[in-house]
Amino acid sequence: MKRIGQIEKAYEIARERYQEIGVDTDEAMKRLAKIPVSIHCWQGDDVGGFENPDVGLSGGIQATGNYPGKAKNAGQLRDDLNKMLTYIPGKHRLSLHAIYLEANGNIPRNEIRPEHFKNWVAWAKEQKMGLDFNPTCFSHPLADDGFTLSHKNPDIRRFWVDHVKCTREIGAYFGKELGSPCVNNIWIPDGYKDIPADRYAPRERLLEALDDVLSVPYEKQYLLDAVESKLFGIGSESYVVGSHEFYMMYAMKKNILLTLDTGHFHPTETVSNKLSSALLFLDEVLLHVSRPVRWDSDHVVILENELIEIASEIVRNQFENRVHIGLDFFDASINRLAAWIIGTRNMLKALMYALLEPVESMKEYENAGDFTARLAMAEELKTMPWHAVWDYYCEKNNVPVGYDWLRDVKEYEKTVLLQRS
């Protein structure tokens, strides 16, 4: 009780401090409560899935580390998700990949159906969460040569077109069952390790394949389509078929979502600087928030400058209903629940920080040409007691404050995770 009193006292002091600069902390918390983050299921098992867990990762996907306790089946993964969600304030979403189906026997990816995900829908209803989805165009024999939707073999290309069509049907099923549109994000690994002689033909095939994929109409209240670019990958260092320019043009043409992954651009580029441009021409975008360390390494998200800039860009322009925030990182070198919790809470902390900015005052300084005041305010905000507001928000949502959650996670590791064979 003493600690609760300290948290509330600290919050009252913070509220007064923010009132002095024209910021309503109560309103900030209300806004944050309305922003869902789509938490990725694949952190829990290193992108293994349940289709064939013994098959290694391919398509440039790597999970480094061998920390004990990864989920081996859907029941274990849902148990871990249930535990993880108790440490995350607010109501959020879960993003699934197609390989997380549950079926009797081996179901080819071009034959997966909604019934293979009925257990996930039942779980999501219990959690009062929405579901998002992703076709899995990697870790499969028909993707071993590095090409899927742009494959020169029409039979292989047809297999992947049909797979993505299946995921759109499943995504629409999610949206209809859960009353919240499912974002179905298309990413493919297609590309060349070395400089190709023909850059045009694979992109022409990809264009035709995507048109085929999207030929079946679904209501947007159930399904939102997204396409994700990448600068380079392992095995596609010199040429990626689905480049940023390709997908940006395609998303504009088809009026679908463009996915901006924080690890899929040159290290000197920032996604925070792309949002305002993209949203002048697109209705909505999907974010994949990760942490690239010199390349698309998918490290656990930390509270760094670019994460705060992304959150600020969303908040300052009131993009909350136009930007779908998804997480995409996986680390097998640390406790997987802790990775989920750290990354998700940091995304929410960044949003909290952004919601506590005196945006109108900063814009007034900027419009008046007073860049000195703008910079001074931006820097002084860094030592404002935003963390006291965050702690209070956690307490009000009945989740642990500070790193109190770590003790519980360590106990779960000892009693549950380490008991898995």
Q: Give catalytic residue positions.
A: 187, 228, 230, 261, 264, 288, 296, 298, 328
Neighbouring C-beta atoms of residue 302, cutoff 10 Å: 11
Long-range CB contacts (within 8 A, 24+) of 22-25: 22/358, 22/360, 22/361, 23/356, 23/357, 23/358, 25/356, 25/389
The single-letter DSSP state of residue 33 is H
35 near 301, Cβ under 8 Å?
Answer: no
Contact partners, residue 45, CB within 8 Å, separation at least 6: 53, 70, 71, 72, 77, 336
Report the distance separating Cα 80 and Cα 44, nearest Å.
7
Q: Is 291 helix (H, G, I), strand (E, B) or coil?
A: strand
Q: Which tokens in the block code for residue 268?
A: 């000197």
Output the DSSP codes for 180-242. SPEEEEE----EESS--S-SHHHHHHHHHHHHHHTTS---TTTEEEEEE--S--TT-SSEESS
Q: Which tokens in the block code for residue 116?
A: 């293979």
Contact partners, residue 130, CB within 8 Å, separation at least 6: 36, 38, 93, 94, 124, 174, 175, 178, 180, 181, 182
Output the DSSP codes for 334-358. S-HHHHHHHHHHHHHHHHHHHHTS-
Instruction: Provide the pairing of β-strand 257-261 with 223-228.
Output: parallel
